């Protein structure tokens, strides 16, 4: 099976960091987010992958090339103008149209057995299967109504309350399996959405559109909070990610769990952790504190400064005695 990774977005909720680095290149335990997505697909037996790109595309293309170094066969679909989810799919039609294929958002990390999802898709003779999950606040994600047999009955506007008693309200994880017939429903060369324009029509026409519930780990790293939380979860072992060994220095005030890159200079009186990730070449002055935060490569935290619940960008210097809390810089 082939797959498409949707990576053309601007990452607006993560500005200003995304002004200089596309979200798929954001480090997660010091490896690009997109690398973890490729590892996830490869571990599920998927090696033929296409990625759509638009925002700062060269930073992605130059790093990953043809995918050889990452154990996959990789192609890129460049969108000069952003085309939306369905429009992006249409542009990649020639790569995907020969058989059942998978589509995944680039900012999702999940513990999902794709073989089980594919078996469900085939068993239901579905033309579209969405991986769904229950959420305490599904309205945050434009909820979906699903019948007891897994059939999706409606994409719900978030303002609509009280779903029919025969359905449950769930949310979409950004992972889906499709049949090539979907391409006949998407106009070429224009902005077009799947959940907005394509999927609701398929449901209205009575086509077999199903959802399967995922109950294990899942996170969407679209915000500062979830970007930090995903790495805290990985440090706790809630999510298995391939990464380089942490270089935890001895004799320093390190409060596990942490992940420290190479060539970091950390004062003996600086506190690292809990839940801190330091990129390569970071520097922490005396009395500095980094807790529940991510430092990108080359960041410097001045003496007496505190960084908590925050992201410090590549090469950024935090001044002495500064307080960086709940921020991105």
- Residue 243: alpha-carbon gap to chain centroid: 16
- Tokens 């960084």 appear where? 307
Using one digit for the tens of pLDDT, what is the confidence trace for 83-127?
A: 999 999 999 999 999 999 999 999 999 999 999 999 999 999 999
Asked if the model's pLDDT at residue 180 lies above 80, the reply is yes
Tell me the CA end-to-end span of the chain in Å, nearest whole number.
40
- Looking at residue 30, its pLDDT comes to 96
Q: Mean pLDDT across the stretch 178-197?
A: 93
**Cβ–Cβ contacts within 10 Å for residue 156, how many?**
18
How big is the CA angle at 143 (ends 142 and 146), to the nearest 5 degrees?
150
**Token code pair at residue 119:** 């078996």
DSSP conformation class of 168: E
Using one digit for the tens of pLDDT, what is the confidence trace for 252-271?
A: 789 999 999 999 999 999 99
Asked if the model's pLDDT at residue 249 lies above 80, the reply is no
Q: Which helix (H) or strand (E) holds 87?
A: helix 84-91
Instruction: Specify which residues 109 forms β-bridges with.
Output: 219
**DSSP per-residue codes, 107-164:** TEEE---HHHHHHHHHHTT-SEEEEEE--S-GGGG--EEEETTSBEEEEPPTT-----
Asked if the model's pLDDT at residue 218 lies above 80, the reply is yes
Instruction: Specify which residues 283 forms β-bridges with.
Output: 265, 300
Q: Which residue has the higher pLDDT, 141 or 59?
A: 59
- Looking at residue 171, its pLDDT comes to 84
Asked if the model's pLDDT at residue 136 lies above 70, the reply is no
- Looking at residue 139, its pLDDT comes to 57
**Cβ–Cβ contacts within 10 Å for residue 187, how many?**
11
- Looking at residue 270, its pLDDT comes to 95
Domains of the chain and any CATH numbers: 2-224 (3.90.550.10), 244-325 (2.160.10.10)
**Token code pair at residue 108:** 């999702």
- Looking at residue 156, its pLDDT comes to 64
Distances (CA, A) of 277 to 153, 295, 328: 43, 6, 14
**Rg of the chain on CA atoms, in Å:** 21
Asked if the model's pLDDT at residue 246 lies above 70, the reply is yes
Asked if the model's pLDDT at residue 159 lies above 80, the reply is no
**Token code pair at residue 175:** 């992972």
The pTM is what?
0.92
Torsion sign, CA atoms 230, 233, 238, 243: positive
- Looking at residue 208, its pLDDT comes to 95
Q: Mean pLDDT across the stretch 20-45?
A: 96
- Looking at residue 161, its pLDDT comes to 47
- Tokens 């359905």 appear where? 167
Reported confidence tier of residue 247, pLDDT bands at 50, 70, 90 = confident
Cβ–Cβ under 8 Å, residues 18 and 55: yes
Mean pLDDT of the chain: 91
**Token code pair at residue 75:** 């192609």
Burial (0-12, 13-18, 19+ Cβ within 10 Å), 13? middle
- Looking at residue 145, its pLDDT comes to 86
Q: Provide, rounded to the nearest whole percent, the portion of the chain with pLDDT above 90.
A: 80
Q: Mean pLDDT across the stretch 184-191?
A: 92
Residues with Cβ within 8 Å of 270's Cβ and at least 6 positions away in sequence, in order, are 252, 253, 284, 285, 286, 287, 288, 289, 290, 301
Q: Which helix (H) or strand (E) holds 101?
A: strand 101-105
């Amino acid at each position: 099976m082939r797959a498409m990774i949707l990576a053309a977005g601007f990452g607006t909720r993560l500005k200003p960091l995304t002004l200089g680095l596309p979200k798929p290149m954001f480090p997660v335990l010091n490896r690009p987010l997109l690398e973890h997505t490729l590892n996830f697909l490869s571990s599920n037996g998927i090696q033929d992958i296409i990625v759509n790109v638009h925002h700062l595309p060269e930073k992605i293309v130059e790093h990953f090339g043809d995918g050889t170094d990452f154990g996959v066969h990789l192609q890129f679909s460049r969108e000069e103008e952003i085309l939306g989810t369905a429009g992006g799919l249409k542009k990649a039609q020639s790569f995907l149209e020969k058989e059942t294929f998978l589509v995944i958002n680039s900012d999702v990390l999940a513990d999902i057995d794709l073989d089980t999802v594919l078996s469900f898709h085939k068993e239901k003779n579905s033309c579209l299967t969405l991986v769904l999950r229950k959420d305490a606040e599904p309205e945050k994600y434009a909820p979906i109504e699903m019948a007891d047999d897994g059939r999706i009955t409606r994409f719900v506007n978030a303002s609509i309350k009280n779903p029919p008693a025969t359905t449950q309200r769930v949310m979409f994880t950004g992972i889906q399996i499709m049949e090539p017939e979907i391409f006949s429903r998407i106009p070429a060369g224009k902005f077009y959405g799947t959940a907005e324009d394509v999927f609701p029509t398929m449901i209205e026409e009575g086509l077999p559109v199903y959802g399967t519930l995922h109950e294990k780990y899942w996170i969407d790293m679209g915000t500062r909070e979830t970007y930090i939380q995903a790495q805290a979860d990985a440090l706790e072992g809630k999510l298995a990610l391939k990464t380089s060994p942490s270089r935890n220095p001895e004799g320093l005030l390190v409060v596990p769990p942490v992940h420290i890159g190479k060539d970091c200079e950390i004062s003996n009186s600086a506190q690292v952790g809990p839940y801190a990730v330091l990129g390569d070449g970071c520097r922490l002055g005396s009395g500095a504190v980094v807790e529940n935060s991510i430092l990108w490569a080359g960041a410097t935290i001045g003496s007496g400064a505190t960084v908590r619940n925050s992201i410090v960008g590549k090469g950024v210097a935090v001044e002495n005695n500064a307080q960086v809390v709940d921020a991105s810089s």
